[in-house]
Amino acid sequence: MYHVNALRFVLNRYEPLGERKNLDRALADMNARLGKRYGLSVDADRVIDRMSSSGFSNWAGLYDAVMSELWLGEQKEHWAEKCQLVWREIPQFLREMPNGKAILLIRDPRSVTASFQRFTHAPAPAYLGAVFNSLDALQHAMKFQETLDPARFAAVRYEDLASDPERETARLYKFLGLDPSEARLDPTSWIGETGQKWASNSSFSNGARFDVAASIKRWRDNLDPIDRGFVEAICKGAMEHWRYDSFGPPADWPEILRRVLPDANLTMMLRLALVNGEGTQAFPTDPVDPANWDFSRRVPPAART
16 with 135, same domain: the answer is no
Q: What pLDDT, in 10s, does the model give residues 185-208?
A: 765 555 444 444 544 555 655 555
Domain boundary among 49, 76, 103: 76
Verify that 102 and 64 share a domain, yes or no: no
Spell out the residues 6+ positions from residue 165 whose beta carbon is closer than 8 angstroms to its own: 185
pLDDT score of 7: 94
Residues 6+ apart with CB under 8 A from 153: 90, 94, 101, 102, 103, 104, 144, 145
Sequence-distant (≥ 6) Cβ neighbours of residue 71 within 8 angstroms: 79
Residue where one domain finishes, among candidates 76, 103, 128: 76
**CB neighbour list of residue 211: distance below 8 Å, 6 or more residues apart:** 203, 204, 205
- C-alpha distances out from residue 163 to 159, 188, 211, 216, 301, Å: 6, 17, 10, 9, 28
**Which pLDDT does position 246 carry in this prediction?**
87
Note the pLDDT tens digit of each residue in 137-181: 999 999 999 999 999 999 999 999 999 999 999 999 999 999 998
In a shared domain, residues 65 and 91? no
How many other β-carbons are positioned within 10 Å of the β-carbon of residue 256?
Answer: 19
Span 54-103, pLDDT tens digits? 888 899 999 999 999 999 987 888 999 999 999 999 999 999 999 999 99
Per-residue pLDDT, 195: 46
In this predicted structure, what is the pLDDT of residue 189? Answer: 55
pLDDT classification of 212: cutoffs 50, 70, 90: confident
Residue 87 CA: distances (Å) to CA of 47, 192, 280, 282: 26, 31, 11, 11
Domain that holds residue 183: 84-303
Q: Give the model's confidence band at 300: pLDDT under 50 very low, under 70 low, under 90 confident, else very high.
A: very low
> What mean pLDDT do residues 267-279 have?
97
CATH of the domain at 298: 3.40.50.300
Residues 128, 272 within the same domain: yes
> In the listed set 10, 42, 76, which residue is the last one of a domain according to the structure?
76
Do 160 and 255 lie in one domain? The reply is yes
CA distance 9 to 271: 28
